[in-house]
Structure 1
Amino acid sequence: MASRRSRLINTFQQGIRWFHGSNIAQRQTMVEGLPLNYEVAGGGKKVALCMPGALGTIQSDFGPQMKSLAGKNLTLVCWDPPGYGKSWPPPRQYSLDFLHRDAAIAALLMKTLKYDKYSLLGWSDGGISALILAAAYPQHVDKLVVWGANAYVSDQDVKIYEGIRDINKWSQRMRAPLEAIYGTEYFKEAWEGWVDTLLHIYHEKGGDICKGDLAKITCSTLIIHGAKDPVAPLSHGQYLHENIKGSQLVIMDEGKHNIHLRSPEEFNKIVYQFLFKE
């Protein structure tokens, strides 16, 4: 399990290295009584919302995209979900439908920012919320790209989550990047809350996160998945592809969970071509 934890922490370290050196200004707005931190990069007419993963932030999860994918043809909006990054405090509120709530709040954020039509780029938990948002608000979503996402929790996933739950078993080097963002106490509370909630979904909902939403997705959809993803096994990407009508599946043979951070040039090229393909 140590190597899996190490890969998760490397995700944050790689993303933050990319983000540092950019000149993207921070902004904040209120949505549903929640202070939401967000960034806007690029100046294109085509707009996409970037949706981070568990405990993810703009800095940790989308540095290479905000810096290099956004440009004169593409505007990227990225947010810190409620209770994460600089959208904290207030603390993260977990429930069996917390990813559905994220989807609804993200849609309201884009409405507040006066973006009526946009694409979605969602990673991991953010990919799940992107699936839900695309299903619930088809009139607003142009195209959908998800990677490292899953629509259900399996027996295999439960073992993965249980293996990474206790941060006291992590080395200081592994904990340091997250503690730098959240502090020790809140990091522990938020991480355990996330793991416990996924386990509750497994036990109380038969593992169903958003399986019923997939048939409602009508926009052009690209699913990218790392063949060696240790956090969301490839079977999840294949399930999404089989259950989202007309979707495309790209498998990165050497890819792991954070394919957009490990291979940003290849990843950004795939996404850009999809977004601008007629």
Structure 2
Amino acid sequence: MGYFVTVESGVNLYVEDINPGGNKTIVFIHGWPLSHKQFEYQFDVLPAMGYRCIGIDWRGFGNSDKPMNGYNYDRLADDIGSVIDALQLKNFTLAGHSTGGAIAIRYIARHNGYGVSKLVLISAAAPVGFTTETANKFLKETLNDRPKMMQEVTDSFFFQYITGPFSNWFFQMGLQAAGWSTAAVVVMLRDEKLYTDLLKISVPTLILHGIHDKVIPFAQAQELNQKIKNSQLVPFQYSGHGPFWEERDKFNQLLTQFI
């Protein structure tokens, strides 16, 4: 079922809550500039296995409200915290993809890991996000021809072949975001770093990353593995930036085994 949670005055986040009576809970945080819908191929399978799957759309993205401000790691992490508080979640697994992985890291560092028993970082945009060159290119295109920018993101996202209809679905998901929030998060990815946050992670952490990732290089996953204690890295040999789709059977199996 889907509903909205108020995270501050006038700002409501959309939450997709599947199988609320499940035995174990996984909170999914999507990547830029997507929405909870990117995890469709987890939501198709995991709830039927007894898991409660919660997908949260960030402010400015997906079905959530799209205010003009609040696009920094602290505020986005606090938004996640507000949802966790509202749903009274405890002992759950926090799974973040790309920028969502960075937001998950900031949530744990900023909120002392409240409620989180395990962390899953999927192609995480950490400890750094985009290079200045890449960010400035995306920023310019976002503000002048956002569909072209989103097509470039789609084309570089996957290592495996994707069909035309799948590409269009993915493309439209990205355009559901507001232009201003899309641009603001590019600036965040360019300017904000998470090195000190990594030292504050103590929960068991699973790092999943495609070796052919053109968006966030695999070397960053190796760096996370070195700097996060009690972490393990699993490379995906046939994936780019989207192992949750490109090798979804392996991804889902590893996720359930870890939890």
Class of the TM-score when normalised by the shorter of the 2 chains: 0.7 to 0.9
Residue in 2 that maps onto 1:9: none
SS in 1 for 2:212: coil
Given residue 102 of structure 1, which amino acid in structure 2 is its aligned partner?
L
Deviation at 1:264, TM superposition (A): 1.5
Residue in 1 that maps onto 2:5: 29
Cα 1:109–1:248, aligned 2, differ >3 Å: closer, same or farther? same
Deviations 1:50-81 (A, max 9, x none): 0011122112x211112212235211111111
Does the Cα contact within 8 Å between 1:138 and 1:217 map onto a contact in 2? yes
Match of 1:118 among 58, 75, 92: 92
1:76 aligns with 2:53: yes
2: CA distance, partners of 1:139 / 1:179: 30
Once the two structures are superposed, the pairs formed by residues 56-95 of structure 1 within 5 Å of their partners are: 56-59=34-37, 61-91=38-68, 93-94=70-71
Deviations 1:70-101 (A, max 9, x none): 2352111111111211112334533xxx1222
Given residue 195 of structure 2, which amino acid in structure 1 is its aligned partner?
K
Cα 1:263–1:257, aligned 2, differ >3 Å: closer, same or farther? same
Does the Cα contact within 8 Å between 2:102 and 2:127 map onto a contact in 1? no
SS in 2 for 1:85: coil
Match of 2:176 among 159, 169, 181: 181
Match of 1:131 among 79, 90, 105: 105
SS in 2 for 1:198: helix
1: CA distance, partners of 2:124 / 2:48: 26
1:51 aligns with 2:29: yes
SS in 1 for 2:124: coil
SS in 1 for 2:52: strand
Does the Cα contact within 8 Å between 2:34 and 2:173 map onto a contact in 1? no
Runs of 4+ in 1 over 6 A off after TM superposition: none
Deviations 1:196-228 (A, max 9, x none): 3333x1xxxxxx521101111111100011111
1: CA distance, partners of 2:255 / 2:115: 19
2: CA distance, partners of 1:180 / 1:89: 13
Structure 1, unaligned stretches of length 5 or more?
1-24, 202-207
Given residue 114 of structure 1, which amino acid in structure 2 is its aligned partner?
Q
2: CA distance, partners of 1:223 / 1:179: 24
Provide the identity percentage. Answer: 26
1:210 aligns with 2:194: yes
Does the Cα contact within 8 Å between 2:25 and 2:93 map onto a contact in 1? yes
Given residue 31 of structure 1, which amino acid in structure 2 is its aligned partner?
V
Deviation at 1:49, TM superposition (A): 0.7
Q: How many residues align structurally?
A: 235
SS in 1 for 2:77: helix
Structure 2, unaligned stretches of length 5 or more?
153-170
Cα 1:102–1:192, aligned 2, differ >3 Å: closer, same or farther? closer
Residue in 2 that maps onto 1:273: 257
1: CA distance, partners of 2:150 / 2:200: 43
Does the Cα contact within 8 Å between 1:132 and 1:210 map onto a contact in 2? yes
1:140 aligns with 2:131: no
Match of 2:78 among 84, 88, 104: 104
Residue in 1 that maps onto 2:155: none
1:197 aligns with 2:188: yes
SS in 2 for 1:68: coil
Deviation at 1:271, TM superposition (A): 0.7
Does the Cα contact within 8 Å between 1:44 and 1:71 map onto a contact in 2? no
TM-score (norm 1): 0.76
TM-score (norm 2): 0.82
Deviations 1:102-155 (A, max 9, x none): 22221221110121221101001110111122233334111100111133337x
1:151 aligns with 2:126: yes
2: CA distance, partners of 1:169 / 1:179: 10
